[in-house]
Amino acid sequence: MPYKLLFVCLGNICRSPAAENIMNYLINQHRLSEHIICDSAGTSSYHIGSPPDSRMNAAAQQKLQIKLRGRARQLQISDLENFDLILAMDRENYEEILYLDPTGKYQQKVRLICDFCSKHNLKEVPDPYYGGADGFNLVIDLLVDACEGLLKYLPKTPIQ
């Protein structure tokens, strides 16, 4: 059974699709696609069905030469059962995820993605939606750092 990762932000059009696509890029580079699979979701319903934001896509193209794939969907309670590790972009996302788990059954599966960064000190991936290109570039830098850290961490993690 492959290890299943879910990346979560608010809209599922900027940060979490970028995380999913960056992680897939690293997984392919390391020939791990049979062992780790990725998905993403948003805590809100705002952008259900939309492709990744064009500004997020431009930053990913410019920095990594990757095109962001996927369509936004909303996080569901069943995701807590179905995924092995759920990565929140910021504390608000983290709280929203745990809100779906009132008994705390899945709490151990939920982490802030910046916990896996080793080069950056920020604790959250800032929401870039209302800002400029710098914010989108910072998202890419933070997520490359975090996803590289995740890749090192995963093989040592027992599947729950």
Q: Report the interface residues with ligand 4NP, using CB under 6 A.
A: 9-15, 42, 46, 127, 129
**Which is nearer to ligand 4NP, 131 or 155 (by Cβ)?**
131
9 is annotated as an active-site residue:
yes
Give dist(CA 113, CA 92) in Å, integer. 13
127 catalytic? Reply is yes
77, 43 Cβ separation under 8 angstroms: no
Q: Helical H runs in the chain?
A: 15-29, 54-64, 77-82, 91-99, 133-153
Q: Please, which residue, 12 or 24, has the CB nearer to ligand 4NP?
A: 12
As measured in angstroms, the least distance from the Cβ of 18 to ligand 4NP is 8
Catalytic site residue from 14, 15, 38, 90? 15
Q: Half-sphere exposure of residue 12, counting CA atoms within 13 Å on the CB side?
A: 24
Min dist. Cβ of residue 32 to ligand 4NP (A): 25
Structure tokens of 105? 């059954």
Based on CB atoms, which residue is closest to ligand 4NP, 46 or 153? Answer: 46
Catalytic residue (one of 53, 84, 127, 145): 127
Of 111, 103, 117, 121, residue with least CA distance to 146: 117
User: How far apart are alpha carbons 46 and 11 in whole angstroms?
Assistant: 6
Shortest gap between Cβ of 67 and ligand 4NP (angstroms)?
Answer: 17
Active-site positions read 9, 15, 127
